[in-house]
A and B are shown apart, each in its own frame.
Chain A
């Protein structure tokens, strides 16, 4: 199951584990990504917390946790190849895996269709 937050993060759920990243729409908007400040493994997050910062050449964007939980793994490949997010934002450009603490939060996220509409509305 894959869902999207209004702040342009995606969540893909397998059991109690959620893989999160930023949407393809978001990476396109950010331009060439040059650095990803990854969260620490073991860190506890509340939905809406800033858990990562993504930098392009001329901007730094905060990324918000789409769900609450504990960071159990981060995509260390992004350290040396941040451009992975540009190449494959919703696949190999994932950012972190989170052990969810409140699965019901998923209900408040959007499916792909609703997210697409949301992006259009935002312009």
Chain B
């Protein structure tokens, strides 16, 4: 039942201070056609009804707080509550972006220090915190590339190379900055195929977007060669930080020769995913690009923090104000808590957890690529089809019945029936064992009766939903008559 179905005319949960009106009536003062005739149909409920409605909804959600969430590429680690508490301190949450700078020195200090931490962690020279999400950071990175070559008089560089294993946001972001996308295939080891790369790399290429480790969980061990090839042709190297959790504290994209980096504070730095967002996608650059960053930039003169809007070659702004400040605080608190030593340990444990789970699961179905992985790995589900007559989707749905969130499925696109598993460092060995045991149990069910999997899930609040009808004739809002 929707919140609208529970509504009763005349009921409310909202009470304002009792005050005299000054007597300005909109209908007396405004042009007649500007005054709203019909109230928007918002629900009318008591506070307790609202409480129960949303509590009821929350109970229909799976969450990291509720259980293991090994979604590959999403880094669903624990979201420490200390960070939430800090972000909600009134000195941080109740400040206006247009307050005078001397009344927000604490906020500017957080931003300045966070920028410096991110520079240190990634080996870059300068950071902007403005982008609201990873894809937003990618867009900034691509716009920086565009502006850089425009200023250099090399506007002929209209193409960007993206691996076939890349996240969909990479090609989509490149296109939004006016680039044409060229895919480079992966080789049999799941890495960028250098020969193919050499063939497509020329003077019309603006840059190469890479994720390292890449989306199959492998470190691009030929990164030195790729870097040389790119820079020899005058192209820039872009680092998609989706998988930084694997190498944080061990190796830095800046040292590998990357010119632009975006991070996902909501993955690597433990800020919660909030059902899809808000995230935060800071972008770091080498000094050749620092004057092109979005405005404003936070400066410190030794005694006072300030916002600098005077960057004549800036790409401009990609959103209002300074970025998702509330998210910065959570990432900042996380970095302070773990410290340099803890960040390094976190990535070690992420990689250890992934390899442990990979070893256990690979006894059941093969991994897409042999050998050690970094923080995540990809299983090749084609054996499910050939041996058990079920699909990756069926296994995923059956996992729901066992109260476990399935891995990312059908991504990356280059692996048939892919299952992409990222356990993260905050999971115990027991949780990993439970996942592997459950997976094994599901495979034996598949052997006995594949229909159990095909009919799954049975224990969730709804079963498999009719997505085809939903997309054919989309009903995207509640209405009174239905």
- Where the two chains meet, the residues of A that have a C-beta atom closer than 8 Å to any C-beta of B are 32-35, 55-58, 82-83
Residues of A within 8 Å of B410, CB to CB, are: 58
Alpha-carbon distance A34/B467, docked complex (angstroms): 9
Alpha-carbon distance A58/B467, docked complex (angstroms): 10
Alpha-carbon distance A82/B473, docked complex (angstroms): 10
Per-residue CB contact flags for chain B residues 435-468 toward chain A (1 = under 8 Å, else 0) read: 0000000000000000000000000000000011
Would you give the shortest CB distance from A38 to chain B, in whole angstroms?
A: 15
Alpha-carbon distance A56/B468, docked complex (angstroms): 7
Residues of B within 8 Å of A35, CB to CB, are: 471-472
Alpha-carbon distance A83/B471, docked complex (angstroms): 11
Alpha-carbon distance A57/B410, docked complex (angstroms): 14
Residues of A within 8 Å of B472, CB to CB, are: 34-35, 82-83
Residues of B within 8 Å of A34, CB to CB, are: 468, 471-472
Give the number of A-B contacts (CB < 8 Å): 17
> B468 — nearest CB in chain A belongs to which residue?
A32
Q: List 17 A-B contacts (CB under 8 A).
A: A32-B467, A32-B468, A33-B468, A34-B468, A34-B471, A34-B472, A35-B471, A35-B472, A55-B471, A56-B468, A57-B467, A57-B468, A57-B471, A58-B410, A82-B472, A83-B468, A83-B472
Residues of A within 8 Å of B467, CB to CB, are: 32, 57
Alpha-carbon distance A18/B401, docked complex (angstroms): 51
> A81 — nearest CB in chain B belongs to which residue?
B472
Within 8 A of A (CB), among B281-303: none
Alpha-carbon distance A34/B472, docked complex (angstroms): 5
Alpha-carbon distance A67/B468, docked complex (angstroms): 31
Alpha-carbon distance A35/B468, docked complex (angstroms): 10
Residues of B within 8 Å of A32, CB to CB, are: 467-468
Task: Other than A32-B468, A33-B468, A57-B471, give 11 A-B pairs with Cβ distance below 8 A.
Answer: A32-B467, A34-B468, A34-B471, A34-B472, A35-B471, A55-B471, A56-B468, A57-B468, A58-B410, A83-B468, A83-B472
Alpha-carbon distance A35/B472, docked complex (angstroms): 6
- 10 A-B pairs with least C-beta separation: A32-B468, A34-B471, A57-B467, A34-B472, A34-B468, A57-B468, A57-B471, A82-B472, A83-B472, A35-B471
Would you give the shortest CB distance from B464 to chain A, in whole angstroms?
A: 12
Alpha-carbon distance A27/B467, docked complex (angstroms): 17
Would you give the shortest CB distance from A27 to chain B, in whole angstroms?
A: 13
Residues of B within 8 Å of A33, CB to CB, are: 468
Residues of A within 8 Å of B468, CB to CB, are: 32-34, 56-57, 83
Would you give the shortest CB distance from B11 to chain A, in whole angstroms?
A: 39
Would you give the shortest CB distance from B181 to chain A, in whole angstroms?
A: 15
Alpha-carbon distance A33/B468, docked complex (angstroms): 7
Would you give the shortest CB distance from B471 to chain A, in whole angstroms?
A: 4
Would you give the shortest CB distance from B405 to chain A, in whole angstroms?
A: 19
> B467 — nearest CB in chain A belongs to which residue?
A57
Alpha-carbon distance A70/B472, docked complex (angstroms): 28
Per-residue CB contact flags for chain B residues 467-478 toward chain A (1 = under 8 Å, else 0) read: 110011000000
Within 8 A of A (CB), among B187-232: none
Would you give the shortest CB distance from B115 to chain A, in whole angstroms?
A: 39
Alpha-carbon distance A57/B469, docked complex (angstroms): 9
